[in-house]
Amino acid sequence: MQIYSQKDVKKKALKGARIAILGYGSQGRAHALNLKDSGFDVVVGVRKNGDSWKNAKKDGLPVAEPADAVKGAALIAFLTPDLTQKDVYAEVIDNIAKGATILFAHGFNVHFKQIKPRQDLDVVLIAPKGPGGLVRRQYQQGRGVPCLMAVYQNATRKAKDNALAYADGIGGTRGGVLTTTFAEETETDLFGEQAVLCGGATELVVKGFETLVEAGYQPEVAYYECLHELKLIVDLLHEGGLAKMHQFISETAKYGDLTRGPRIVNAATKREMKKVLKEIQDGKFARQWIAENKRGRKRYKQLMNKDLKHKIEKVGVKLRRRMPWLQETA
How many percent of the chain have pLDDT more than 90?
97
103: helix, strand or coil: strand
Do 93 and 115 touch, CB atoms closer than 8 A? no
List, for residues 153-167, the tens digit of each pLDDT value.
Answer: 999 999 999 999 999
**pTM for the whole thing?**
0.93
Residue 329 has a pLDDT of 53
Question: pLDDT, tens digit, for every residue of 91-147?
Answer: 999 999 999 999 999 999 999 999 999 999 999 999 999 999 999 999 999 999 999
State yes or no: 281 annotated in a binding site.
no
Q: Please state the rounded mean pLDDT for residues 15-27.
A: 96
Say if residue 189 carries a ligand binding annotation: yes
CATH superfamily assigned to domain 3-180:
NAD(P)-binding Rossmann-like Domain (3.40.50.720)
Q: Which residues pair with 101 in a beta bridge?
A: 75, 122
The DSSP annotation for 111-140 comes to HTTS----TTSEEEEEEESS-HHHHHHHHH
Strands 122-128 and 147-153 turn out to be antiparallel
pLDDT band, very low/low/confident/very high, at 327 (cuts 50, 70, 90): confident
Q: Tell me what pLDDT residue 196 has.
A: 97
The pLDDT of residue 2 is 87
User: What CA–CA distance (Å, rounded) separates 36 from 174?
Assistant: 17
Q: From 99, 102, 109, select the one nearest 69 (Cα to Cα).
A: 102
pLDDT per position as a tens digit, 49-64: 899 999 999 999 999 9
The response to whether 328 counts as a known ligand-binding position is no
Choose the catalytic residue: 31, 106, 228, 246: 106
Partnered with residue 18 across adjacent β-strands are 41
> Does the annotation mark 106 as catalytic?
yes
Whose CA is closest to 126, among 74, 176, 89, 66? 176
26 assigned binding-site residue? yes
Mean pLDDT of the chain: 96
**Region 15-36: what's the mean pLDDT?**
97
CB atoms < 10 A from the CB of 321, how many? 9
**Could you read off the pLDDT of 232-287 as tens digits, one per residue?**
999 999 999 999 999 999 999 999 999 999 999 999 999 999 999 999 999 999 99
Mean pLDDT of 204-229: 98
5 among the known binding-site residues?
A: no
Residue 233, C-beta contacts closer than 8 angstroms, at least 6 positions apart: 245, 249
Helix segments in the chain, DSSP class H = 26-37, 51-58, 66-69, 85-92, 108-111, 132-140, 159-169, 172-175, 182-191, 199-214, 219-223, 230-248, 251-264, 267-281, 284-294, 298-308, 311-320
Q: Where are the domains of the chain?
A: 3-180, 190-328
pLDDT exceeds cutoff 70 at 70: yes
220 annotated among ligand-binding-site residues: no
